[in-house]
A and B are shown apart, each in its own frame.
Chain A
Amino acid sequence: MKVDEALILNLEKLARLSLEADERVRLSADLEEILQMVAKLEELNLEGVEPLRHMSPVKHQVRQDKEEAHLTIEEALQNAPKYDKPFFTVPKVIKR
């Protein structure tokens, strides 16, 4: 699997990263090497094998529809890099 620029740019976009040019070259090469290692999985015949989706043997774990403690607005905002009480704030999203 070749990790070309289009692929790495798409992954950066999906993961919300913007790599520096040299970083991009380096990580692309790493990724390519990792995928080469991962390609080993192709050797196995997996026909009819059900994917293992959940590791816990627990089935049907639900909670009652009961209210639990909330954070105060102060607690909710205390870790926020930016806020305008009682809101978190982010750079303005321009609506069309």
Chain B
Amino acid sequence: MFPRIFSSSLLKFASMHQEFEAVIGLEVHIQTNSKTKAFCGDSTAFGASPNAQVSAVSLAHPGTLPRINKRHVEQATLLGLSLGCTIQPITYFDRKHYFYADLPKGFQTTQDGSPICIGGTFEFMHNEKVHSIRIHHIHMEEDAGKSLHEGEQPFSQIDLNRAGVPLLEMVTEPDFRSAEEVHDFIHALRLHVQYLAISDGNMEEGSLRCDCNISVRPHGQETLNNRCEIKNVNSARFARQAINYEIQRQSKIMREGGMVDQETREFSASTGKTTLLRSKEDAHDYRYFPEPDLPPLHMSPGDIKQLETLVPELPLAKMSRFLELGIEEKDARLLVGNKSASDEFDAYLTSDREHTPRAIAKFWINQLMPQQKERSIPEGRALQKRVREYLNLLDGGKVNRSAANQKLWPVAFDSNLSLESVAKEIGILRDGSEALDLDSLVKDLIVQNPVEAEKLRRGKKGLISFFMGQVMRATGGKAEPQKVSEAIKKAIDQK
């Protein structure tokens, strides 16, 4: 697929700069936002005290049995449907065996033989273009607990709150060719799962982690060389760093005529390097077999259809719709990148036919979203009502736009009074008497500056701004520039 996109001349051009091509595939672990764990009713809330969110099941006490979380299945299906995967009518779980202190059962319950979603593609923006990578499959599994090795004490500490937390693992085809693509993909995937409302996509809390499989080969070579897997990279930035390091490392080995060993490596954020975790010889023998305690899942076409209706408009679709509405591209991108803000924006849009989407978008980007970042403000109806009231107040000319943006909007949610009353309270409201004062103020200024007035009358238009500045100084910036300029013209013509 890749070589056909680039013509051979382009390849030659590329090879002048870089002799090798990287081939990268990802295994992304998405921690879902279900309330309880994958196979028992323990809470999944983040930040609880260690071992406070465990039960006999998650501690793998003798005699305990797993039960599938309905929400987990729905989330997997939803993700699959949103990416055009085929949802398998019958799937089952498998046990993947290895020993580790934070893996209570001695096996992870996962899907090896029959993942719930197969195929599909993920589209995302990369270098201003829509980029597409193929998905091999998506499966359901559970997380392990946490081992803490820091500190002076001669032992490691085990916290099993995370043991059993639901994960979706997305395995891509090796379709990535650069660290930048991976970086942009991870950001796009994060937004995608937020749109589906199946995960918070929070990388600091480990909601998105990925294993990166990387190999390099001379440009034009069809077959794949040995690959290395970098485990547990937990941010887009680290993924980019780790992959770039790994490409350099492998290229160097190849350049020196060596062979890259197939192995598992880990990335250190502090050094920016990858190091050997285990060699191919030490590779795990996971001894998968079907989990006998969990009956197979049967997904009927009806179930799938029902879930299909829950797939929302996705980022790329929203982007093109916003562009069609005439919203400026950079504004549209900012809106689309914030799921909740763009949802509020969409809801408001349907209720306001008087202002253009472009103008409303500007307001959203420049006024609303910055405010949302700093403080919590009302949502839904209450928000819409205030926005409407504010935009109308601006239209009516009763306040100066920039003064209102600076002084009125920031306090718009601090009071239950009408915005007009608030404007009056903080002294930026213009009333009728002020309009009268503007004419007499201009007349006064003309009398006080006869030379300038005369020049203006004779056609030296630049002097309008001279008088405008005088008016503004006298009114403390409250006057509406349009009105001031009209008043000046009127007064000059009357003379």
Chain A residues packing against B (C-beta within 8 Å): 14, 16, 53-56, 58-73, 76-77, 79, 82, 84, 86-96
Contacts and interface: CB of A to CB of B under 8 A. Distances in A.
B55 A88 contact: no
B69 A65 contact: yes
B212 interface: no
B149 A95 contact: yes
Contacts of A92: 149, 153-156
B292 interface: yes
A16 B284 CA distance: 13
A95 B150 CA distance: 9
Interface string B26-65: 0000000011100011110000011111111001010000
Contacts of B73: 62
Nearest to B41: A68
B53 to A, nearest CB: 6
A61 B68 contact: yes
B290 A54 contact: yes
Contacts of B51: 73, 76-77, 86-88
Contacts of A95: 149
B56 A66 contact: no
B452 interface: no
A77 B52 CA distance: 10
Interface centre among B50, B53, B54, B155 (most CB of A within 10 A): B155
Interface of B: 34-36, 40-43, 49-56, 59, 61, 67-73, 92, 97, 99, 101, 147-149, 153-160, 266, 275, 277, 285, 287, 290, 292, 294-299
A63 B292 contact: no
A10 to B, nearest CB: 8
A77 to B, nearest CB: 7
A30 to B, nearest CB: 20
A53 B92 contact: yes
B154 to A, nearest CB: 6
Contacts of B297: 59-60, 62
Which 8 residue pairs across A and B have the least CB separation, nearest first?
A68-B41, A87-B157, A65-B71, A88-B158, A89-B155, A62-B70, A58-B295, A53-B290
Given A65-B71, A84-B157, A91-B155, 14 more contacts: A16-B99, A53-B290, A54-B292, A59-B298, A61-B295, A63-B41, A65-B34, A67-B35, A76-B59, A87-B51, A90-B156, A92-B149, A92-B155, A96-B277
A18 to B, nearest CB: 13
A94 B155 CA distance: 10
Given A14-B285, A53-B290, A61-B67, A70 B54 contact: yes
Nearest to A82: B155
B36 A62 contact: no
Contacts of A62: 67-70, 73, 297
A65 B35 contact: yes
A66 B68 CA distance: 12
B156 A89 contact: yes
Given A68-B36, A73-B51, A60 B295 contact: yes
A56 B266 CA distance: 41
Contact of B36 (A67, A76, A89): A67
A89 B69 contact: no
A95 B268 CA distance: 12
Nearest to A79: B61
A54 B298 CA distance: 13
29 contacts: A14-B97, A54-B295, A54-B296, A59-B297, A60-B295, A62-B68, A62-B69, A62-B73, A65-B34, A65-B35, A65-B70, A67-B42, A68-B36, A70-B54, A70-B55, A73-B52, A76-B54, A76-B59, A77-B51, A86-B49, A87-B157, A88-B51, A90-B147, A90-B156, A91-B155, A91-B156, A92-B149, A92-B156, A93-B147
Contacts of A65: 34-36, 69-72
A82 to B, nearest CB: 7
A29 B52 CA distance: 47
A93 B340 CA distance: 43
Nearest to B166: A65
Contacts of B285: 14
A70 B59 CA distance: 11
Nearest to A96: B275
A66 B36 contact: yes
Nearest to B59: A76
Nearest to B155: A89
B275 to A, nearest CB: 6
A72 B35 CA distance: 19
B278 to A, nearest CB: 11
A76 B36 CA distance: 18
